[in-house]
Amino acid sequence: IGLLTIILLTFTIISFGQTDQQLKKASDLFKQGSEFYKSDQYDKAIQSYTEYLKIRPNVPNGWYNRGLAYYFKGIDPAKNTTESSKRNLNLAIADFS
């Protein structure tokens, strides 16, 4: 049983591991999202963070930052109807959760 556990653990690590190239792309996407966020380009920030989360779904900073982008997009009265504002704020809450 001990050998089987080691084999399964090794398979799990290998199958869920990420290559250096994937990690580099994720890092670039996160930085890009942050730059868009800083310049109030929330749609582009959300898009970058979403792509980041496809690579690094278990990293809380990606969810938090995308949640912030949804939040600030949701409270901008110039860019929202009441319905779209509610949708963005609900998306923010989901990401924070």
pLDDT tens for each residue of 65-82 = 999 999 999 998 777 788
What is the pLDDT at residue 9? 47
Residue pair 45/33 in contact (Cβ under 8 Å)? The answer is: yes
- pTM of the model as a whole: 0.78
**CA–CA separation, 91 vs 96, rounded Å?**
9
- pLDDT over 70, % of the chain: 82
Sign of CA dihedral 29, 30, 31, 32: positive
Token readout for 20 is 């250096």
Residue 39 CA, distance from chain mean position: 18
Q: Which residue has better confidence, 46 or 11? A: 46
What is the identity of the amino acid at 48? S
SS3 content of the chain, % helix, strand, coil (to 5): 80, 0, 20
Over 60: is that where the pLDDT of 5 sits?
A: no
